[in-house]
């Protein structure tokens, strides 16, 4: 795994120390009592902070999925798909921070290992590509995203493609009442109406283009060369779609899992590590009985309360729909309990299917 350098700050340090670093790095690592505590990225500084000199780092951290130095490509793909983080922290065996790994670093390794799917970008892109001028307001962009039922807009300047804006970007900007003149300048003392601000005042241009008939491998090379995680797909200079690193990660994950797919939802950033346990425990049981019952449409939803976790499992079989639920103080206990319960239910159902031996009466 390629690990990039990252500034490491203590949780008691002022946020102002992180701001300059975020001009060049996707995130800053924060420690507490000598151990890893979280990261600070652009989203962390998007909540109307008036004076970063008076704000401690520990009050604005994010807690994304954490990777160990030994993490392989499948584990990193899974971690990036759990959230909208451009960089994830990498720790050593003592849980000390080593640095960051980014989506682009993962794409590099996938390219070297020939793990990029053999297909054209047209087969994977989000299409059509909806366009908005950089002079439009954030409020207008939100309306267009909603009306077009899309997650991304291609931004133009004088008809020329200059970047992409997503629902994620819009959601982040909307929480910046003191932000103007660019994503990183949060030193304004007077609040402003972000809805009325122009996209040009926020957009970080990343217009990397690929042709519609290009292969996905070509798109990945462009992302690596330009150090970006999104490309605009064009035909005769006109945008027809968008492909992101996350789109590629989803496809790779889909192709790598030949077994039963489980739709997992509701996991918080702090509980993201339990994604693997859900597959290891519940997924294992479903695989065990998958062929016997033609198990499909499996999903697990987690809801965390003040002191408990509610875990729901749903899946379809040829014998009908099965739904189970448990509530436990620890998420691990809930997952393990449901795995045992599913195993017992399916085992009994399978037993009932076995033909009973015929008895003969002695004469």
Identify the CA nearest to 134 among candidates 62, 201, 214.
201
Q: Are residues 322 and 238 in the same domain?
A: no
- Domain membership flag for residue 193: no
Residue 287: inside a domain: yes
CATH no. for residue 279? Answer: 3.30.160.100
Per the domain annotation, does 83 fall within a domain? yes
**Residue 359, phi-psi category: left (phi > 0), alpha (psi -120 to 50), beta (remainder):** beta
Query: Do 128 and 222 sit in the same domain of this protein?
Result: yes
Both 312 and 222 in one domain: the answer is no
304 & 281 share domain: yes
Which domain, by its residues, includes 101? 8-112
What pLDDT does 128 receive?
85
Which CATH number covers residue 158?
Answer: 3.10.580.10
User: Where is the domain boundary, 112, 143, 176?
Assistant: 112
Question: Both 327 and 242 in a single domain?
Answer: no
Per-residue pLDDT tens over the stretch 91-149: 998 889 999 999 999 999 988 887 888 889 999 988 888 899 989 988 888 888 888 88
Tokens (6 digits) for 261? 């797919």
3-state DSSP call for residue 200?
Answer: helix
Q: Does some domain include residue 276?
A: yes
If asked whether residues 108 and 154 sit together in one domain, one would say no
Domain assignment present for residue 20? The answer is yes
User: Which tops the pLDDT comparison, 204 or 119?
Assistant: 119
The secondary structure of residue 203, as a DSSP letter, is: -
Overall domain count for the chain: 3
Based on the fold, state whether residues 78 and 157 are members of the same structural domain.
Answer: no
Q: What is the mean pLDDT of residues 80-86?
A: 85
User: Is the residue at 187 inside a domain?
Assistant: no
The Cα angle at residue 357 between residues 354 and 360, in degrees rounded to 5: 165
Full DSSP string of 230-272: EEEEEETTEEEEEEEHHHHHHHHHHHH--S--EEEE---GGGT
In a domain, 176, yes or no: no
**The predicted structure's pLDDT at residue 80:** 92
Q: Tens of pLDDT along 272-319? A: 768 778 877 898 899 889 889 999 999 999 998 889 999 999 999 998
Residues 212 and 131 in one domain: yes
**Would you say 323 and 314 are in contact if contact means Cβ atoms under 8 Å apart?**
yes
Over 60: is that where the pLDDT of 176 sits? no
Mean confidence (pLDDT) of the chain:
83
CB proximity list for 140: less than 8 A, separation 6 or greater: 132
> Contacts from 335-342 at CB under 8 Å and sequence distance 24+?
335/274, 335/277, 335/278, 335/281, 335/282, 335/311, 336/281, 338/281, 338/282, 338/311, 338/313, 339/281, 339/282, 339/284, 339/285, 342/282, 342/285, 342/286, 342/313
pLDDT digits (tens, 9 = 90+) for 41-73: 877 765 556 677 888 999 888 899 999 988 888
Same domain, 334 and 297: yes
**174 occurs within a structural domain:** no
Residues near 92 by beta carbon (within 8 Å), at least 6 away in sequence: 68, 69, 98
The 10 Å Cβ neighbour count of residue 221 is 17
Question: Tens digit of pLDDT for each residue in 281-290?
Answer: 898 899 889 8
Q: Do 321 and 347 belong to one domain?
A: yes
One domain for residues 77 and 152? no
For residue 354, name the pLDDT band (cuts at 50, 70, 90).
Answer: confident
Domain match, 133 and 91 both: no
């Amino acid at each position: 795994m390629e690990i990039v350098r990252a500034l490491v700050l203590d949780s008691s340090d002022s946020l102002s120390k992180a701001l300059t670093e975020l001009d060049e790095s996707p995130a800053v690592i924060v420690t507490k009592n000598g151990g890893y505590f979280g990261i600070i990225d652009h989203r962390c500084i998007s909540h109307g902070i008036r004076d970063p000199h008076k704000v401690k780092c520990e009050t604005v951290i994010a807690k994304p999925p954490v990777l160990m130095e030994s993490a392989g490509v499948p584990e990193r793909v899974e971690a990036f798909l759990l959230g909208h983080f451009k960089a994830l922290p990498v720790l050593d065996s003592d849980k000390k921070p080593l640095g960051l790994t980014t989506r682009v670093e993962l794409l590099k390794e996938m390219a070297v290992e020939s793990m990029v799917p053999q297909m054209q970008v047209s087969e994977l892109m989000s299409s059509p590509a909806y366009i908005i001028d950089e002079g439009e307001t954030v409020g207008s962009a939100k309306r267009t995203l909603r009306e077009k039922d899309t997650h991304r807009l291609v931004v133009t300047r004088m008809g020329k493609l200059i970047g992409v804006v997503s629902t994620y970007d819009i959601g982040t900007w909307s929480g910046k009442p003191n932000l103007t003149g660019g994503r990183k300048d949060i030193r304004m003392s007077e609040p402003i109406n972000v809805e009325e601000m122009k996209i040009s005042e926020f957009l970080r241009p990343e217009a990397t283009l690929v042709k519609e008939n290009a292969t996905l491998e070509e798109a990945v090379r462009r992302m690596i060369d330009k150090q970006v995680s999104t490309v605009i797909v064009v035909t005769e200079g006109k945008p027809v779609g968008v492909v992101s690193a996350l789109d590629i990660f989803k496809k790779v994950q889909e192709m790598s899992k030949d077994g039963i797919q489980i739709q997992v939802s509701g996991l918080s950033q702090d509980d993201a590590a339990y994604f693997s346990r859900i597959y290891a425990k519940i997924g294992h049981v479903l695989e065990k009985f998958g062929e016997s019952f033609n198990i499909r449409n499996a999903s697990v939803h987690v809801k965390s309360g003040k002191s408990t976790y509610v875990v729901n499992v749903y899946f379809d079989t040829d014998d009908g729909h099965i739904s189970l639920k448990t509530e436990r103080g620890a998420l691990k206990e809930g997952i393990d309990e449901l795995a045992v319960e599913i195993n017992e239910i399916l085992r009994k159902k399978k037993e009932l299917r076995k033909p009973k031996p015929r008895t003969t009466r002695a004469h």
